[in-house]
Chains A and B, each alone.
Chain A
Amino acid sequence: MRHPSQPPEVPGAGDDIQDLIPVASSASGSVAWSSSKGGEGGGGGGGGDSGGSFTALLGLPTSQAMELLLPAAAPTFPADPQLVDRAARFSAFASPSPSSPSPNLPPPPGSSAAAAAKRKVDPADRASKGKSSKKGKTAAASGEDKDGGGDGEDDKPAYVHVRARRGQATDSHSLAERARREKINARMELLKDLVPGCSKVSGTALVLDEIINHVQSLQRQVEYLSMRLAAVNPRVDFGGLDNFLTTEVTWPDMGVNGARHLVQLQQHFWHGDLAHPLQPPSQWEKRADPHAPVFSNSSSSLFGYDLASSGAQPQTGKLKMEL
């Protein structure tokens, strides 16, 4: 939690902007402002993410918000709310020294307004990098270097920040290459975790071979299982199975309880017991929808089961949102 003795413009690092609002309202002296802020903050905070609450905070004129949030209000600060948001977070990062935001703040607003949007990533990252660097030389080298690289490639929308180690070339080409190599290595690590038996293999070519073999074996398994499924007894009703699947605990756990539930379900179907809900597992009974035709072949049965009264309509809406 926050200490009440701390000034409201410097909350703990990493705290959400939303938290600034109650702190500000509690610590602020002006009653009128705090009451309006409380209402707006509550509405903004409840309505959306931190960006939304911050723009609610900006229902206030920008200068007042700046006074509240930044220890030294930069006069040439652009009125872009998103940039302001970033700067506020940035001040939260650099909390120990209130003077450190100010020397770093003028350079980004000093840049052209057209590049202001692109520089959004820069101040926050630069602050965090500067804060966490150990060697001064490394920090200076990487700082200048990112500046040079950043000004050189102004057409790219996002920056890739790579730490330039001691003794390594620092021009933009090798930096980009190094970034790419690091990305590729990171992805190879992910793949090695996914493919079983791949962590003890060293060397990229062998790992790739293993991955290819694994993908091929999985595809062959799909083929084989589809052949077996094609031969399944057509009397079974597949459409009602998804009710079972919503209530089952985990996928990997399908071994022990899963088989038992599955067999019970299957027997129900085979005896033509489609009229009433499944009895034995009690949690199914509680969740069973007594009036809707849950076991019909309709495709909405899966989610019509979860959202009992709302039916399939919001669910298809949700599916559309997901997709």
Chain B
Amino acid sequence: MLAFRFLRALTLVHRTTPNSSNAARSRRIQRAAFASMAYSAGPRRAWSRALLCRFHFHRARRRCAGRSRTAGVPRRPSTTGSPADGLRRLVPGGTEMDYCSLLEETADYIRCLSKQVKLMQSIVDSVGPGGR
């Protein structure tokens, strides 16, 4: 599932921006990677919700003006478990979770990230050395 989504996004990116710089394209590809990750993870995960909302927010600022992503997520300032602050910054949506669910989300996020990395690596490998 992740592979399909990502490949579609990838091909889309390449198709639509053949003339833009590699850097810009790489940013788009990266965003596509995260988006495909979030979509494949589904709305059940707080981090995927946060990611999706971030994308949608950027996409349609008017609609998501209310930052509705926080609905349903327990909002708590990161006063507890201050060593987890770095983690909160890394995991999308981590600033609004309690420590316990932060760990859970981190685990799921790591799983998805590693899947994404493997997928991208395999794509790069499959393209082979003659890509340029």
Tell me whether A and B are bound partners.
no
Taking Cβ atoms with an 8 Å cutoff, the residues of A that contact B are none
